Amino acid sequence: MGPFFFIIKICLVLIFDYFAKSLFPEATTLWLILTSFLVCIVIRNTAMFRNLVSSFTNKVSRSSDTILSSRQELLLSLYNLSQYLERSHRANDAKRARYRRMPAKHQHICNSIGYPEKLTLVDTLLARNNDTIMRVYADGIVRHHVTEEDLRQSRRLARSTNHYDYFRVVESLCHLTRDWSESGSTEIQPLIDYICDNSRNLDLKNTTVIVPGSGLGRISHELALMGFKEVHAVDFSWLMTLFNESIYGSRSQMASIYPYVHNYSNHWQTKDQMGLATYRYGIRQPENLHIHCQNFTEFTSPAETAAYNVLIVTCFFIDTAEDLLSYVDSINRICKPFKGKKRWINVGPLKYGTAPKVELSNEELGDLTSAMGWNRIHQLNSPTKLGYLTDTIGLWQGYYGVCMWTAEKKC
């Protein structure tokens, strides 16, 4: 809109306002609202208004970039942990409130079978889960030198961005069960077995291992125990990293969590929701294990400690890529400085998410990785059925068909 037409339109609005107030003086408020509305319509099409909107949008974008810096992501993750008990009790209270809105006679029947007592028991078990959460929280504060001012900043940041991710905290508890408890061994052990079996013939003392998307770190831990020169566990999530780090310490102890307590659905017996998982924490961290919270596509193995060979291990990871080829590019980049054998072991499904730009079958993935320099030297001929954060006695159980293959870089 040119300046001339803008001025004409504003003048017409003002003339309209003048005559309206003169003819209907008793409706001044109405005409003020209507005139303001018309002025907004005129202004929104001007270049000046569009520039202001663009400037504001850029500032918000820059602010978001700052929020997502690694240190502030750490602080927000610590804030999420600190809010677990309050948020989980709030979710349980919402169920309690819905229950109380039932007709009195229906409540009476549910009272007779002990439903209110179940709600109260869930509150108790959530508090016990919080013992684990608070230990992870306290450990993270010490490990990463978090100050009181940092914690105040995290609270301000969370409030200003309306940031809280309760689901991710619950998910981390489930991953803790999967990776480190005895009950989770049916899901994780077959993966460990395949990875270890297909890496034993490497020169362990002269091989660097890199595990992108390492999660709670059990596979990285087992590889470190095998005796590789160094193992780098790399995960983008600070929540996962904090839980992983909290496993290690100077005094081994047992702890308990209740991974299914958050979900009231799909239980055969009431006690199944209250199922207990035990795990050990405070174990010694292998000296050759290094934990990184970092975007894998930006990771570089330290040159001063790099070995002759390199092993990449991807577990339930490659299908998380928006652009799968960028993951392969990053793997090739990481492997390039190594002069010896370059091996890649992959285990996991192909359940693509995060708006993928390409979605490949296992066959197509083999052709693609071959075109990008990798030859498969071993693979299972059919998918292995494995649970993923699955309650094996529940009425709903999630299983993946898992691909397992090993490739080496072409000379």
Q: What is the DSSP string of 251-267?
A: S-EEEEE-TTTT--SSB
Reduce the secondary structure of 215-251 to three states and give it as a string. Answer: CCCHHHHHHHHHCCCEEEEEECCHHHHHHHHHCECCC
Q: Sketch the domain layout of the chain as residue ranges.
A: 3-67, 72-164, 174-409
From the list 258, 7, 259, 273, the residue with the least C-alpha distance to 115 is: 273
Supply the pLDDT for residue 160: 82
pLDDT tens readout for residues 107-152: 999 999 999 999 999 999 999 999 999 999 999 999 999 999 999 9
pLDDT given at position 21: 64
Structure-model confidence comparison of residues 35 and 395, the more confident one: 395
Please report the pLDDT score of residue 289 as a whole number: 98
Per-residue confidence at 58, pLDDT binned at 50, 70, 90? very low
What integer pLDDT is reported at residue 162 of this predicted model?
76
Rounded average pLDDT over 41-53: 60
Q: Tell whether the model's pLDDT for residue 65 goes beyond 50.
A: no
- Select the more confidently predicted residue: 42 or 177: 177
Span 244-259, pLDDT tens digits: 999 999 999 999 999 9
pTM of full prediction above 0.85: no
In this prediction, residue 157 has a pLDDT band, given cuts at 50, 70 and 90, of confident
**How many angstroms separate the CA atoms of 227 and 289, rounded?**
10
Strands 207-212 and 309-315: parallel
First to last CA, the chain: 63
Taking alpha carbons only, the member of 226, 241, 379, 390 closest to residue 311 is 226
With 60 as the cut, is the pLDDT of residue 12 above it? yes
- Report which of residues 330 and 65 the model is more confident about: 330
For residues 359-380, give the mean pLDDT: 98
| Side-chain half-sphere CA neighbours of 364 within 13 A | 7
For residue 4, the model assigns a pLDDT of 59
Angle at 176 (CA atoms; ends 170, 179), nearest 5 degrees: 140
Pair 408, 374: CB distance under 8 Å: yes
Q: What is the pLDDT of residues 162-189, one digit of tens each?
A: 777 899 999 999 999 999 998 889 999 9
Measured between alpha carbons, how far is 406 from 343 in angstroms, rounded to an integer?
7
Q: Taking the alpha carbons of 259, 264, 266, 271 in that order, is the dihedral positive or negative?
A: positive
Provide the percentage of residues in the chain whose pLDDT is more than 90.
76
pLDDT at position 398: 92
45-53 mean pLDDT:
57
Nearest to 238 by CA among 80, 77, 69: 77
Q: What is the mean pLDDT of the chain?
A: 90
- For position 244, what pLDDT does the model report? 98
Token duo for residue 74: 């750490």
CA distances, 161 to each of 94, 156, 332 (Å): 24, 9, 37
- Fold adopted by 174-409: Rossmann fold (3.40.50)
Say what the pLDDT of residue 355 is. 92
| pLDDT recorded at residue 66 | 44
H or E, element range at 121: helix 115-143
By CB atoms closer than 10 A (0-12, 13-18, 19+), residue 276 is middle
Q: What value does the mean pLDDT take over residues 198-221?
A: 98
305, pLDDT greater than 90: no
What confidence tier does 17 reach under pLDDT thresholds 50, 70, 90?
Answer: low
- Say how far residue 99 (Cα) sits from the centre of its chain: 32
Strand 207-212 relative to strand 230-235, pairing: parallel
Query: What's residue 5's pLDDT?
Result: 58
**CB-count burial class (<10 Å; 0-12, 13-18, 19+) for 100:** exposed
Measured N-to-C along each axis, helices 148-161 and 70-82 cross at an angle, to the nearest 10 degrees, of 90
4 vs 355: CA distance, rounded Å = 46
pLDDT at 57: 47
Using 50, 70 and 90 to split pLDDT, how confident is the model at 397? very high
pLDDT at 32 > cutoff 60: yes
**Spatial distance between the Cα atoms of 300 and 313, rounded to a whole number of angstroms:** 15
Cβ atoms 325, 356 nearer than 8 A = no
Determine the pLDDT at residue 63. Answer: 42
pLDDT at 29: 67
pLDDT of 368 strictly over 80 = yes
* pLDDT for residue 30 is more than 70: no
